[in-house]
Amino acid sequence: MSRLPTTPITVFHGLLLGAVAAALTTGLLRLILGHWPPPLTACLTTNAVIYCTSWLINFRRIRQQQRLKALYDQPAHGEGT
Interval 19-43: pLDDT, tens? 888 888 888 888 998 988 888 888 8
Residue 4: exposed, middle, or buried by beta-carbon count in 10 A (0-12, 13-18, 19+)?
exposed
- Rounded to 5 degrees, φ, ψ at 18 are -65, -40
State the average pLDDT for the chain: 83
Residue 21 located in a structural domain: no
Residue 49 located in a structural domain: yes
* All residues at 6 or more sequence positions from 42 whose CB lies less than 8 Å from its CB, including other chains: 22, 25, 26, 29
pLDDT exceeds 80 at position 3 = no
Residue 68 located in a structural domain: yes
Task: Give the residue numbers spanning the domain of 50.
Answer: 44-72
